[in-house]
Amino acid sequence: MKWALIILNCCSLYSFGGVLKVGKKEAYKSITAAVAAAKNGDTVWVSGGHYFEKNLVISKSIVLKGIDHPVLDGENKYENISIKTNDVVVDGFLLQHTGVSSLVDFAAIKIYNSRNVTVINNIIRDAFFGIYSQYGTHCLIKNNLLTAFSKEEQRSGNGIHCWKSDSMQIIANTVSGHRDGIYFEFVTNSVIWRNNSFKNLRYGLHFMFSNDDAYITNIFENNGAGVAVMFSKGVKMFNNYFKENWGDASYGILLKEINDSYIGSNHFEKNTSAIFAEGANRIVLKKNVFKNNGWAFKIQASCSDITLEQNNFLGNTFDVGTNGSLVLNFFNNNYWDKYEGYDLNRDHIGDIPYRPVSMYSIIIEKNPPAMVLFHSLIVSLMDKSEKVIPSLTPENLKDEHPLMKPLPL
């Protein structure tokens, strides 16, 4: 798989030529002057200090290396660094105070139509957009710390923003306070691995029109509306954590018009809806843990060929919710802590099917204010009777072989 090859190549090295030094006691007092004097293959070493370079444009294949995190200040007017050629490395800077505009996407570091760019070990504070790739290819964005402070989405850009890019590696970054932590649009064959995206205004991850990408071992926590993955196919999501995404229109992850994808070994904990699926087709959800969510899985009638197997459902208010009666999906061998069946032959599989959609969840779907009656006796009686003689809940939405014990996930 292409995304697997990307991970294996993430430590690729460049070889460079001469060294130019920038600092108060060095030959070059400004980074702009050193970059202008550099040749392809050179390294520009920048000593610690505070630099006002307005917009630093890199149009040569060089390494720009910061010592003790020198500060590049955009003065709330400029883009800090603009990369406009291939084979560039930016390593070890503190970039702050980019310009803010409704017409121009200013960024702390922006990649323009370039290949093999490496952006590593930087601290980015108070940026409009943090790291922005526009037509980037085979670029590595790794081990950066991005923090923004805007309170309004209109005044905030995204932390790591990739547009019309291919074979990107987004690895081990920490992003908070932006509009979206990580944003992909028209991005293919790329990997998002070991990132922490939290307390962003809208989405921890916002992903649209991007195919054949993988998200592995990331943490998306306490974001405005959780994570949204939309209008895509061939997406693989492994071993991610979706936590504490609460709100009327919030979820751990929204799957909208997504096809032919795999979601495995993820943890969904304390979200309003762990997964909300609309228009999703041919999706496999396997070995995930759904714990202490409002709704574990809300699956709309527009979904089909969803396979849900070998997952644990623990302590959720509602295990499954839906808005239709015809359900063309397959549930099997999941553990449901609300299952009250029996196992006479002791094969660790329940002898009667489990219907995860409660009558009350159907009522709540149509009349949300009815939630105030949730713990009442009449609601318990209604759900018990519905399990014996189904009338409102979908007849074919059931787990034929529920597990008697949770899986060790």
pLDDT at residue 386 tops 60: no
pLDDT tens per residue across span 235-268: 999 999 999 998 878 999 999 999 999 999 999 9
**220-246 average pLDDT score:** 95
pLDDT at residue 223 tops 90: yes
**160-175 average pLDDT score:** 98
Residue 376 binned pLDDT confidence (cut-offs 50, 70, 90): low
pLDDT tens per residue across span 198-220: 999 999 999 999 999 999 999 99
Q: What is the pLDDT of residue 11?
A: 41
pLDDT at residue 390 tops 70: no
- Name the residue with higher pLDDT: 288 or 15: 288
**CA geometry: angle 375, 378, 379, nearest 5 deg:** 55
**291-313 average pLDDT score:** 95
**156-177 average pLDDT score:** 97
Q: What is the pLDDT of residue 246?
A: 87
pLDDT tens per residue across span 1-44: 454 444 444 444 444 589 999 999 999 999 999 999 999 999 99
Q: What is the pLDDT of residue 210?
A: 97
Annotated domain spans of the chain: 1-199, 225-357+394-409
**Four-CA torsion 392, 396, 398, 400, nearest 10 degrees:** 140
Q: What is the pLDDT of residue 248?
A: 78
- Name the residue with higher pLDDT: 74 or 17: 74
**Cα separation, 92 vs 86, whole angstroms:** 19
Fold for the domain defined by 1-199:
Pectate Lyase C-like (2.160.20)
